[in-house]
Chain A
Amino acid sequence: DADVTQTPRNRITKTGKRIMLECSQTKGHDRMYWYRQDPGLGLRLIYYSFDVKDINKGEISDGYSVSRQAQAKFSLSLESAIPNQTALYFCATSDPGGGQSSYNEQFFGPGTRLTVL
């Protein structure tokens, strides 16, 4: 969805480096999410935020941290990257109860492919 953008789209880094993945949205949604996807597997929720003052851990938050700088921005950080964090990372937004989307409808960004050597 073009209204949800992620930067960078691809990143190669080394073990132990700190890295930040950024997500921006122009949909005006309060809720934002970070997922990771490993090859051949489904998406797993890392963190989610219901508004700028609300941050919640997901299924696999260890090794990750997030920052909700504004309604439109939600960043994911890997403080000390390790090879098993190599994956495709997706950001998503939602507006449950919003007039123009369904209750469980999330809008996904294009993804960031992260490789940790």
Chain B
Amino acid sequence: LAKTTQPISMDSYEGQEVNITCSHNNIATNDYITWYQQFPSQGPRFIIQGYKTKVTNEVASLFIPADRKSSTLSLPRVSLSDTAVYYCLVGGANNLFFGTGTRLTVIP
């Protein structure tokens, strides 16, 4: 079961780009890298997923180096509403491990 390591917390000012890096040294060949966002007292919400290189959607970008042992979630120009916990997960649909995530606080 591939586990991940990510910073416990981060602070950022509004309007800045935020990069959250996650390490997953034991990632398996078939594992995908997935990021979720969770607001207080709500269920997590899927943000983005990738296997290698770069993936971009309307919310975020995900950068994955060639060795796939880490990944970086990039949130462009964060706003106060982006204050949440962000989870990095690796694995397949039946063995996702959420961990404690990174608590991002956006400061006005």
Judging by beta carbons under 8 Å apart, are B96 and A104 in contact? Answer: yes
Judging by beta carbons under 8 Å apart, are A108 and B45 in contact? Answer: yes
CB 8 Å contact bits of B78-108 with A (1 = contact, 0 = none): 0000000001010111101111110000000
Judging by beta carbons under 8 Å apart, are A102 and B49 in contact? Answer: yes
Contact of B32 among A35, A88, A103, A108 (CB under 8 A): A103
Q: For A94, list chain B residues within 8 Å (CB).
A: 93
Judging by beta carbons under 8 Å apart, are B41 and A88 in contact? Answer: yes
| B interface secondary structure, majority | loop
Question: For residue B46, which residue of chain A has the nearest CB?
Answer: A105
Q: How far is the CA of A100 from the CA of B46 in the complex (A)?
A: 13
- What is the size category of the interface that chain A forms with chain B? 20 to 34
Judging by beta carbons under 8 Å apart, are A111 and B91 in contact? Answer: no
Q: How far is the CA of A4 from the CA of B96 in the complex (A)?
A: 19
Q: For A42, list chain B residues within 8 Å (CB).
A: 87, 98-101
* Shortest distance between the CB of A102 and any CB in chain B (Å): 5
Q: For B45, list chain A residues within 8 Å (CB).
A: 1, 108
Answer yes or no: A41 CB below 8 A from chain B CBs. yes
Question: For residue A88, which residue of chain B has the nearest CB?
Answer: B41
Q: How far is the CA of A41 from the CA of B101 in the complex (A)?
A: 8
- List residues of B whose CB falls within 8 A of some A CB: 32, 34, 41-46, 49, 87, 89, 91-94, 96-101
Can you offer 20 A-B residue contacts whose CB atoms are under 8 A? Answer: A4-B43, A40-B100, A42-B99, A42-B101, A43-B44, A43-B98, A45-B97, A88-B41, A90-B44, A92-B43, A94-B93, A102-B34, A104-B32, A104-B49, A104-B89, A107-B46, A108-B42, A108-B43, A109-B43, A111-B41
Known: A42-B101, A103-B49, A111-B43. 10 other contacts (CB 8 A): A31-B94, A41-B100, A43-B87, A96-B93, A104-B34, A105-B49, A106-B46, A107-B46, A108-B43, A111-B41
Shortest Cβ-Cβ A-B pairs, 10 listed: A108-B43, A104-B34, A96-B93, A42-B98, A43-B98, A105-B46, A102-B49, A42-B100, A42-B99, A90-B43
